[in-house]
Structure 1
Amino acid sequence: MLFNEEVFKRRSELGGSIEVICGSMFSGKTEELIRRLRRAQIARLNVEIFKPKTDTRYHETEVVSHNHVSIPSTPVDSSSAILLLGGHVQVVGIDEAQFFDDELPYVCSTLANKGVRVIIAGLDMDFQGRPFGPMPALMAIAESVTKVHAVCVKCGNEALYSYRLVPSEAKILLGEMESYEPRCRHCFGLE
C-alpha cells in the first residue's frame, strides 16, 4: 500500500484533472471510459465509478457499454453523492453525465482541486441536437475533451447526432437501437 500512498501524494501535489469523453449514442463513450478506468486500476490507483441511479438499461450496479463491456459502479441519486463517496480515491469515473444535475461541474472541480483525476463520459447533445445537461459546463472546465463519433446509419459518414426514432418530446428517454440511431449532420437534418 505504500506505493498507492506515494502515488496519491504525488498526484495531490501535482493537482487533479478533469477529462470529458463526449459524442452521440453508439460512439463508444462508455467503452473509452471503461478503458481509461481499467488502466488506472492496472496502475494500482484507487478507482471509484459512478452512474445515475435512473440508468438501469443493462445493469443496476454496473456501467455497461452497448457492446456489453462492463465495470462495477455505484449508482447515485445526485452529483453531491459523488463528492461524499469519491473524495477518498485517486480516480473517479462518471458515466451518463448528461443525466446528472447542474452541480456536477462543481463536484468535479472540487474533486480535481483535491488531486483526483476525474473522467466523465456523456452525450454532448440531446435528441434535438441541443447541448445536454451539465455537459457544456464540464467541457468548458476540463483539461481535455475527447469527442468520439459513431457511424451514420443512413450514409456511413461520421455521426455526431442521436436521432430519436420513437415519437416523444421528453428530454430524457432511455433507450437503445429501438429508440435511437446515430446520424451525421446532413442525415439528421433530413427528417
Structure 2
Amino acid sequence: MLYTEDVFRRRSELGGSIEVICGSMFSGKTEELIRRLRRAQIARLSVEIFKPRTDTRFDETAVVSHNANYIQSTPVENSSSILLLGSDVQVVGIDEAQFFDDELPNVCNILANRGVRVIVAGLDMDFKGKPFGPMPQLMTIAESVTKVHAVCVRCGNPALYSYRLVADEATVLLGEKESYEPRCRACYNLPA
C-alpha cells in the first residue's frame, strides 16, 4: 500500500473533516452552523464551539443567529487557542471565521487530521466584494462548502453581497441592519 493511501485510510477511520458554511450577511450562516452543531449534540457527540472574542454584537459568549437561536460558545483571542481548548472533542464549531487570523486553516487541518469534524461559518467576501480573511483558504481545504444566500432587499433575488450603508472604509466594522444590507450582484453594483 502506498504511503498516501495509508494516510487517507487512517483519516477516513478517524472521521475528521472540514465543512465551510459561507455567504453574505443575513444569509443564515450562523443558523446553519447552530443546526449542524445541535444535531451533533443530539447524536451525543462531544462538541465545542468557538467565536472571536471581538464579536460581542448579540452576546459575550453565545453564538446567536439573526433569528435569535443561540448556542453557548467559548470566545477566543486567536485561532491557536482553538487547538488548546478543542483538543478532546469530536466536533468543533467556529463562527465568524473571517475575523480570525491567517493561522485558522492550519488549525482546522490539524483538528481534522486528528479525527475532529470541524464546522466553520463566515463571510466569504467583505463589503467591497473581496475575499475575506482566512475564508478562501478554508474553502479550498474543506471537504464540503455550503454557500447560502440572503434575499436582496432591493429586488428580491438571491443576495451574495453585504452592502455597507455607512461611510466607513475599515474592513472590519461590526454592525447589523443599521450598517449593512444584503444585495444581489446587479443591485450591489448600482450607483449609490
Q: Is the 8 A contact 1:127 1:162 kept in 2?
A: yes
Where does 1:14-25 land on structure 2 (aligned, <5 Å)?
14-25=14-25
Which residue in the other structure is 2:137 paired with? 137
Q: Is the 8 A contact 1:89 1:116 kept in 2?
A: yes
Which residue in the other structure is 1:5 paired with? none
Which residue in the other structure is 1:104 paired with? 104
Where does 1:35-184 land on structure 2 (aligned, <5 Å)?
35-184=35-184
Provide the C-alpha distance between the structure 2 equivalents of 1:24 and 1:43, rounded to a whole number of angstroms.
30
Q: Is the 8 A contact 1:11 1:116 kept in 2?
A: no
Specify whether residues 73 and 11 from structure 1 end up closer, same or farther in structure 2 by C-alpha distance, changes over 3 A only: farther
Q: Is the 8 A contact 2:11 2:113 kept in 1?
A: no
CA deviation vs aligned residue, 1:98-140 (integer Å, no higher than 9, x gap): 0000000000000000000000000000000000000000000
TM-score (normalised: structure 2): 0.93
Provide the C-alpha distance between the structure 2 equivalents of 1:78 and 1:12, rounded to a whole number of angstroms.
28
Which residue in the other structure is 1:3 paired with? none
Which residue in the other structure is 1:7 paired with? none
Cα offset, 1:61, TM superposition: 0.4
CA deviation vs aligned residue, 1:154-183 (integer Å, no higher than 9, x gap): 000000000000000000000000000000
Specify whether residues 11 and 45 from structure 1 end up closer, same or farther in structure 2 by C-alpha distance, changes over 3 A only: farther
TM-score (normalised: structure 1): 0.93
Q: Is the 8 A contact 2:14 2:114 kept in 1?
A: no
| SS of corresponding position for 2:18 | strand
Residue identity in the other structure for 2:100: F
Which residue in the other structure is 1:30 paired with? 30
| SS of corresponding position for 2:110 | helix
Specify whether residues 150 and 53 from structure 1 end up closer, same or farther in structure 2 by C-alpha distance, changes over 3 A only: same
Residue identity in the other structure for 1:52: P
| SS of corresponding position for 2:189 | helix
Specify whether residues 12 and 87 from structure 1 end up closer, same or farther in structure 2 by C-alpha distance, changes over 3 A only: farther
The Cα RMSD (Å) is: 1.2
| SS of corresponding position for 1:182 | strand
Specify whether residues 147 and 18 from structure 1 end up closer, same or farther in structure 2 by C-alpha distance, changes over 3 A only: same
Which runs of 5 or more residues in structure 1 are unaligned? Answer: 1-9
Which runs of 5 or more residues in structure 2 are unaligned? Answer: 1-9
Q: Which runs of 4+ in 1 moved over 3 A?
A: none
